[in-house]
Structures are given as structure tokens and as C-alpha cells.
A and B are shown apart, each in its own frame.
Chain A
Amino acid sequence: MYSIRLILLVLILLPVGAANLTAQGALELSGRVKIGAKVEKVERKRFYLFRGGLEANKPLIDRIKAATYTSRDCFYCQAKASPQFIAWLKAEDCESPYCRAVTTEDVTKVPEFQAAYQKGLKQFRNKPDVARNWLTTNLTPALRDGFYKQQKSSITSILGTTKAVQSSMTDSVSVVAIFLDIAIQPSAGKTVETFTVSIWYRSRSAEKAMSLFARSMSVRRKRLSYRSFRSMTRARRLRKSVMSWFVT
């Protein structure tokens, strides 16, 4: 399978002043991940933040490891999409027809688009612009949002009853996700709270990721004073000093 699942787990330590248990903080998460020899940018993808370290989140991690990931190509082959449709998706690395605008040229080249367009013309009183711009409304469910729904359902079943503190999306320029206003609640007698970050993601350099699949990276721990975490922008430092990727 060309596309595989890649789960990234990051362990973050949020130091807290023992006296100030209602402290809030922010975290910036770098989406640049080293897979094999390459650094891959995980852009515009949603990361989930969980309370507790890897130990505390073992059931979640076990569910991640046990879950199966159906690749985009595999999904659309099973949905009996035409080679032209799959080629259209692959041309710009899209996961669904919502990714980019369908041009008139695309309509002539991709049979599914052509069929949906013709259906739209009939339905929308021969208005070509409406038929083309609203083309996805006449695609079959599997081709329209089937892959997205499958991904969502995988995430829902992996999460189970585990509730993420927050989720945030990386941008495509600095490839950073920011978690804001995180309430720090360390357990009694502790001054540090540990968090885990996870994502459900298809690696672009799949073959490299395959070799990493069974390997796990060690998680570096480092204590910082509460003062250095308190300010939002100083949290930026955590990105470099505390986090390292756990890839499974």
C-alpha cells in the first residue's frame, strides 16, 4: 500500500508553578516531522492535544496502533472511481473533489465530472456555471465525501471516550499549530503536567514512513520553570526545547 497511516505523538511538559494551579498557557507545535532522512511538512492538518503522557494515554495509543488506514488511492479504487478521477486527485495531491475548483477542461476529461455536470445542466435549467460550480452536489456520495467521512469515523473510533483538550490546525507557511489558553491542572504535589499530541495523517513520503512504522523515537523530557512557560510567546521556546516526535 503506497499510502500508510502515520501517527505522530508528541510529549510535552508544561511546567507549572505549584502555587498557581489555574495557570493557562499556549503551545506552538511544529509540523515539520523527520521521516527517515526527509523532513516532511505536515501542513493544514489537525492535531489533537490530550492530557497525560504516553503512559496515561496507552489505551489511545493501542487503538491508534490497531487501527487500519485505507489510503486515498485504495479508497477510490474500491469506490470504483475512474482512473481519470484518481489522476485528477493525485495531480494536486487532493483527498476529495472539494480540494480545488473543477474547470471546464476537468469536466471533459473526468467521466464522473462529466456525468455530474450533465445531471446538473438538466436540473439547473441549462445553466453551465451553476452545473459546474455545484458539480459536487451531483457526484455519488462515495466520491464526494466518502473518504473524508471514513477518515472522520476512524478518528472517532480511535478517540473513543478519550476527550481531546483541544485540536488545532497547522498553517501552510510556518507549519505551526497553536494551542491556546490551555488550563494547566497538574496532579497533587506535582508542578508539571504532561500532554500528548496526536494526528491521523497520510504521509507523503510513504515508503520512508513505512520503515519508521515499527520504530518509536524516545521522548525527551525537560523541566522548565513556570515563569518561562507563563507567557504565550515564550511558549514558542518549548517547541524547540521540549518536544520531539514519537512516530509509530
Chain B
Amino acid sequence: MKNVVRIGVIFACFAAFLGVSLTPETSAQKRDKFSHATAGHKKKDCNSCHTLPTANWVAARGFPDVADFPGHVACFACHRSDFFAGNKPAICAGCHSNPGPKGSARLPFPVKTRSQEFTSVFPHNLHQDIIAEAAPRRRNVAVAHLVKASFAVPDDPPKPTFNNCAICHETSKAVPKYAPRIPASMQPLAEAAADAFAPKAQFFKEMPSGHQTCFQCHYQGVKPFATDCAGCHKLTTPYMEEPVAKRYSIKFDHNQKEHSVRDCMTCHVRISQNADLKTLVDADVPFITCVSCHNDKITEETKKRTASPEAQQPAFQCTYCHAPAIGRFPIPKSHENR
């Protein structure tokens, strides 16, 4: 009887092993096997596979771009035998939705669901220097002089659009995914209190996600050229892109009356010094820039925080700038030393 059980267990294990190893890979799994980081691929120049622009750019993008997978010729030199491996060669799944000799339909390029292999480097400091000059004021204009009164609609010349931060970062039209930017080195003092606060779309700014903005200047003529992929993109450990806006002060409204009349550079100080966002450790907006206007409110809240343990009460959670998810943390040094 024992032997029958043993044989049964062994058989079950073998069946399970076969089941796992013979389960056909999904096309997504096969596709994700492609790696730019293999020794063979790293030897290649980007342009030996990717052409700029691809033939479908007009329909796919509306501007010259790499809007499609490389052609067969790019893979053939090294992977010729893979193309003839069975009825549904695995290599086809890299680009085609229905792998096989008759499946010509291609996946949308780039495949958004697959992991990213490249990071992008954008030196904000250089761009600040060349495009983000002051929007000059018109001079020699008389002020407070009534020259002429008229009820006609004035035929003013259109206001010039200056290229500054807004050329890439427009105000968001919809609320993006957002989350608190939890301080890594601190422990919260309490559970976050209930909070019904919801930011509006105008609290956020867009970020360029494709080549369109970059190519306006870098398509040709200004380095890095559009054909020099490595000029902006660097190979990295594959990661899944998480477009989540992480904030310390989620209650900051860019369009609030007093904020909208300010220059981006009034608060975004560190960005003008930064050559690569990945090296930015501290918040781009230093606390010093908030204090000049909001010191009274900040003082009021820090006093409440200090007073709460003295009065044997739970830690006061700062909510003037922060959601409770952040407002429950200890007061950082930057706030104490103001």
C-alpha cells in the first residue's frame, strides 16, 4: 500500500514538473526575452537596427520618429536559424502579435507593457541656460499715463510664447496617479489620520514621454542628434515604469493665485543645478522657498506638534501642506531651522 502511495506521489511530482516546463510561453514572455543588454546586441550600433524615421511615422506619430520595430534584416545576420525554428518561431513573438510565417501584424511600438531597459538623461542645467532665459519685459513703455480711451476691441499683437520650463512641463489636464513621498530615514509618529483631500489636475505638471519635444531641437544640428540614441538613453537593469507622481507636499497648487505669478525658478532651485535627475537626492524645491510666504502657518503647525505630546495627546499631524501620510512624520531639520 505504501509503495502505491509513493509511486502516486512521484508520479504527481513528475506530472507537475512536466506541466510547468511544457506550459507554452505567452507571447509577452517571449517578447520580454529580447534584451538590448546581451553581449551581441551591445556590440551593435543602435542605428544598425533602428532607422530614423521609420516608414510609418506620418500615421503613427505625425512627426519623424522611430515608430516601428526594426525590419527582419536587422535580426537575420545573427539569428537566421531562429527564423526557421518550427511553425511558430519564438523570435517572431518579439515584434509580431501572431507569430508564424503568415502573421504579419505587428505589436504597437514600443510595447508599453514590457519592462524598460533604458533610462533617459536630461541635463536640466544646460537647458535652463539656453532656453530658459528671462522672458524679457518690454521697456520704454509709459506707465500710468492715460493716452487714449476707446471702446473698440483692441487689435493687440499676439503675445510671444517664451520657451521656458513650460515648453516641456505643461499643467496637467487630468489628475495623474500620485502617492506620498515617504521620508526614507524616518519613522512615523502615528497612523495617518483620515483625510478627504484630493488634489486637482492643476496641482501637477506634465512630463514629456516621447521624442516629440526633444526632437524639436535635437532632430539634427544640435547634439545629441536624434540618431544618437546613447546621447540620452543609457542601458540599465530592466524595470517596470511606474508613472506615479510622488509628493511631500501634495497640497501645493501650481495655479493658486500667489503661486501662478511666480517664476518656476523661484522655487525649483535645485533643478537649475542638476545634470541628471537620478542624482537629485533632496527635493528639487528646497524648504527655504516655502518659508518666505508661509512661515506663519508653518510656525503654527510646528507649535501644535510640539505642544501635543506635552499635553499628553497624540502627535499633531501637519496638514497645511501635507496629507496625513506625510504630516505624521517627525518635523525635519529643514523645518526646525527656519
Contacts and interface: CB of A to CB of B under 8 A. Distances in A.
A193 interface: no
B134 A103 contact: no
Nearest to B160: A100
B130 A96 contact: yes
Interface in B194-216: 215-216
A137 interface: yes
Interface string B227-245: 0000000000000000000
A137 B288 contact: no
Contacts of A233: 288, 291-292, 295, 337-338
Contacts of B132: 44, 169
A48 to B, nearest CB: 11
B217 A137 contact: yes
B161 A180 contact: no
A127 B131 contact: no
A136 B129 contact: no
* Chain B interface category by residue count: 35 or more
A167 interface: yes
Given A133-B216, A134-B216, A137-B219, A169 B272 contact: yes
B162 interface: yes
Given A100-B162, A233-B288, A137 B134 contact: no
B162 A172 contact: no
Interface stretch (A141-149, A184-192, A207-215): A141-149
A136 B217 contact: yes
A139 interface: yes
A98 B131 contact: yes
Given A171-B266, A172-B135, A144 B221 contact: yes
B309 interface: no
A181 B266 CA distance: 17
A32 interface: no
B154 interface: no
A178 to B, nearest CB: 5
A148 B129 contact: yes
Nearest to A151: B129
B12 interface: no
Contact of A173 (B58, B131, B136, B262): B262
A24 to B, nearest CB: 10
Interface string B312-338: 000000000000000000000010011
Interface in B64-88: 64
Interface string A121-155: 00011010010011011110100110010001000
B202 to A, nearest CB: 19
B131 A99 contact: yes
Interface in A74-130: 92-96, 98-101, 103, 124-125, 127, 130
Pairs A-B, 8 closest by C-beta atoms? A93-B136, A171-B265, A44-B134, A43-B134, A231-B337, A169-B272, A171-B263, A171-B266
Interface of B: 58, 62-64, 125, 128-136, 139, 158, 160-163, 215-222, 261-266, 269-270, 272-273, 282, 286-289, 291-292, 295, 334, 337-338
Interface of A: 26, 28, 43-46, 92-96, 98-101, 103, 124-125, 127, 130, 133-134, 136-139, 141, 144-145, 148, 152, 166-174, 176, 178, 180-181, 204, 230-233, 235-236
20 contacts: A92-B136, A92-B162, A93-B136, A94-B136, A99-B133, A101-B160, A101-B163, A127-B58, A127-B62, A127-B63, A130-B62, A137-B215, A137-B221, A169-B265, A171-B264, A173-B263, A232-B337, A233-B291, A233-B292, A235-B288
